[in-house]
Amino acid sequence: MTRFKRYLITSALPYANGPIHIGHLAGVYIPSDIYTRYLRLRQREVIHVCGSDEHGVPITFKARQEGITPQQVVDRYHEMNRSSFEKFGISFDIYSRTSNKIHYETASGIFKTLYDKGEFIEKTTPQYFDEEAGQFLADRYIQGTCPRCDNENAYGDQCEKCGSSLNATDLINPRSTISGSAPVMRDTRHWFLPLDKYEPFLKKWILEGKKHWKPNVYGQCKSWLDHGLQPRAVSRDLDWGVPVPLEDAEGKVLYVWFDAPIGYISATRELTAEWEKYWKDSDTRMIHFIGKDNIVFHCIVFPSILHAGGSYILPDNVPANEFLNLENDKISTSRNWAVWLHEYLEDFPGRQDVLRYVLCANAPETKDNDFTWKDFQARNNNELVAIYGNFVNRAIVLTHNYFGGRVPGRGDLTDYDLKVLGTMPVIRQNLEDSLEQFRFREALREAMNLARLGNKYLADTEPWIIFKSDPERVKTILNISLQICASLSVITEPFLPDSAARLKEFLNTGEMEWDKAGDRDLLTAGHAIGKGELLFEKVTDQEIENQISKLLATKEQNVKGKSNLPPVKENISYEGFSAMDIRTGTIVSAEKVAKTKKLLKLTIDTGIDTRTVVSGIAECFDPEEITGMQVSILVNLEPRKIRGIDSQGMILMAEDTDGKLVFVSPADKIENGSVVK
């Protein structure tokens, strides 16, 4: 590791359209913060950069929904998340934002460099355009009828009623959500990053050169590279983002995936005039901390941009984590299934270190992992309180009781004493080895082993029993115990910064170098220590019950929302009903409608005639399996053209609240054309 002069640590830029939850913290920001704090303690030259990712359609969409500007959306969440990070001790050197001017300059500068070098491919493709509003429409800005479930308010990327993912061109009767008018197809020009062209470089760099990366990261990269890469659009038509810095590119901005990682460079420029030494000097070791959903962007796409740019270094490592679940269920913003940092701060004020501890001890380093409140309580009460806190408290209190708060000198050492003193530097060494390999759970276990060592040493030597008969021996025991406390205040700092600072205050030591941890003479005899307090408090059953009932209420709410059948429609007259001519018919043939995912073209023998019906059921049924089935069909529905096919009638389907579809068929075979009434 000595070949690098300095470190550049980046943490994934959180998207500024929602608050931060424990999954983010466990996956990215706790490991990156532990690592950075460790490097700082070792006196290495390091900066840690992060910031809000503030562009993209979800932000403009949220703004439109709430009737505010995109800037107001990102201002709100930028401030909220910046403050949460600060309160949890995530010690960025800068927390910037991609709506800053310096980022516009950096991102458009890099686009221009690649453009001038002829790296981009230019392509013209048709896209929906709103003639009234005079703008191209991102998928989210188009609504229409879902071809699968007939929901009239499905979006161009997804139907929220039946959950199917859609293409904007799948929608029946599409309309713009901006003006309400029907959009038209219009050609639009965009620039693409030819990832396929960089494949040889990426293969050599990753598959040959990065075999030491975590298996989950290396494996995902290999899978992408094995499947072959495609050019990827770097621009889109939107009015929120970094404008494409070219003539005739009005209304076009950089695609958010292109501009966001460049935010790391912008943040570094904002932090220091010497930014180039962090980004362009091969003596710098760059490490990206991210979650697994970001692997492709940080290992394939961003390195391709940097490589094409020509003068930038590439990441040395990308220790991505897997996902954290909550109480055996996937963390979900839309289902509100999460522990939000701003809520934790309200419920457990001043106890940020406990969450840091639990999330590190349980980090999803090699596989998805589960956070449970019971485990949170157990780890706090049985580990932080019973081992670490208990040991420190006893050592400090006994020193005050017996020696007026001054560190007593050591006398003759027993074999046990020597063993304990000899173990301390070994623990520090193990911890370093784990951290250098991004094994944070293991590293934390080592740190706690030092507390365990001290706690057991006191329990075994029982100074409170032998003080009367052998006070000299007690001097030695407490001296050694206090040396352990001092080392603990150093090596736990990356994990538990608040508690480590308090412990240093109790011991009255001030800052100590990392390399001193494990030393048997960190505290000199006669040094006056302060009065301690409890380092950690128990988490009560009541506190845990409160959290669990909060989650149960969320779950109930979600289930209720789901099983709510649609309300009964208004009454109609019998005449109204009998106006509908529903008959039995048989599906004679069925085939998929070309270039759609959902549509089947059915030929139905209605007994009266043979007719064509287009039905949005292709995702639920194979053409072969429904051919020959008897169904119910509304035969006097006004014909309409769907994808150029005249659809004459509608097949009756029953749909449950999950969007599952079944045919409404006669229970027994009956003559085609029979009236359903």
**148 is a contact residue toward Zn ion (CB under 5 A):** yes
DSSP state of 106: H
Output the six-digit token pair for 226.
């094995």
Least separation in angstroms between residue 191's CB and Zn ion is 34
Contact 140, 238 (CB under 8 A): no
- Give the span between the Cα atoms of 376 and 358, in whole angstroms: 6
Contact 665, 630 (CB under 8 A): yes
Least separation in angstroms between residue 555's CB and Zn ion is 25
Provide CB contacts within 8 A for 650, sequence distance 6+: 613, 615, 633, 634, 637
- Give the span between the Cα atoms of 486 and 506, in whole angstroms: 10
Choose one: 99-107, 152-160, 420-428, 551-559; the region binding Zn ion (CB under 5 A).
152-160
Nearer to Zn ion, 144 or 585 (CB): 144
Least separation in angstroms between residue 154's CB and Zn ion is 5
Nearer to Zn ion, 159 or 602 (CB): 159
Q: What track of x and - describes contact with Zn ion for positions 161 through 180 (by CB under 5 A)? A: xx------------------
Written as one string, the DSSP assignment of 446-492 is HHHHHHHHHHHHHHHH-HHHHTTT-HHHHHHHHHHHHHHHHHHHHHT
Q: What track of x and - describes contact with Zn ion for positions 42 through 61 (by CB under 5 A)? A: --------------------
Least separation in angstroms between residue 567's CB and Zn ion is 19
Look at strands 661-663 and 369-371 and give their pairing. unpaired
Choose one: 55-63, 154-162, 175-183, 349-357; the region binding Zn ion (CB under 5 A).
154-162
- Give the span between the Cα atoms of 122 and 50, in whole angstroms: 32
Residue 225's region, left for phi above 0, alpha for psi from -120 to 50, else beta, is: alpha
Nearer to Zn ion, 486 or 620 (CB): 620
Contact 674, 607 (CB under 8 A): yes
Least separation in angstroms between residue 163's CB and Zn ion is 7
Looking only at residues 107 through 146 of this chain, which bind Zn ion when binding is defined by CB under 5 A?
Answer: 146
Provide CB contacts within 8 A for 452, sequence distance 6+: 387
- Give the span between the Cα atoms of 309 and 557, in whole angstroms: 50
**287 is a contact residue toward Zn ion (CB under 5 A):** no
Nearer to Zn ion, 154 or 202 (CB): 154
Nearer to Zn ion, 504 or 598 (CB): 598
- Give the span between the Cα atoms of 317 and 433, in whole angstroms: 16
Choose one: 15-23, 149-157, 327-335, 379-387; the region binding Zn ion (CB under 5 A).
149-157
**599 is a contact residue toward Zn ion (CB under 5 A):** no
> Number of residues in contact with Zn ion, rule: CB under 5 A?
7
**522 is a contact residue toward Zn ion (CB under 5 A):** no
Nearer to Zn ion, 530 or 659 (CB): 659
**149 is a contact residue toward Zn ion (CB under 5 A):** yes
Nearer to Zn ion, 82 or 598 (CB): 598
Nearer to Zn ion, 159 or 341 (CB): 159
Q: Which has the closest alpha carbon to 24: 344, 300, 286, 302?
A: 344
Least separation in angstroms between residue 442's CB and Zn ion is 47
Give me the helix-helix angle, 415-436 and 471-491, nearest 10°. 0
Nearer to Zn ion, 445 or 592 (CB): 592
Nearer to Zn ion, 229 or 653 (CB): 653
Nearer to Zn ion, 206 or 653 (CB): 653
Which one of residues 151, 176, 321, 479 is an interface residue with Zn ion (CB under 5 A)?
151
Which one of residues 13, 110, 142, 159 is an interface residue with Zn ion (CB under 5 A)?
159
Q: Which has the closest alpha carbon to 288: 564, 662, 12?
A: 12
Helix or strand run (H / E) with residue 419: helix 415-436
Long-range pairs for 198-205 at CB < 8 Å and ≥24 separation?
198/229, 198/304, 198/307, 198/308, 199/225, 199/228, 199/229, 201/304, 201/307, 202/229, 202/300, 202/303, 202/304, 205/303, 205/314
Least separation in angstroms between residue 600's CB and Zn ion is 15
Output the six-digit token pair for 474.
């007690």
Output the six-digit token pair for 651.
């097949």
Tell the residue number behind the tokens 């390195």, with chain if given. 303
Least separation in angstroms between residue 656's CB and Zn ion is 13
Nearer to Zn ion, 652 or 670 (CB): 652
Least separation in angstroms between residue 258's CB and Zn ion is 31
Least separation in angstroms between residue 160's CB and Zn ion is 8
Least separation in angstroms between residue 279's CB and Zn ion is 46
Least separation in angstroms between residue 618's CB and Zn ion is 13
Choose one: 52-60, 107-115, 158-166, 357-365; the region binding Zn ion (CB under 5 A).
158-166
DSSP state of 347: H
Residue ranges binding Zn ion (CB under 5 A) = 146, 148-149, 151, 159, 161-162
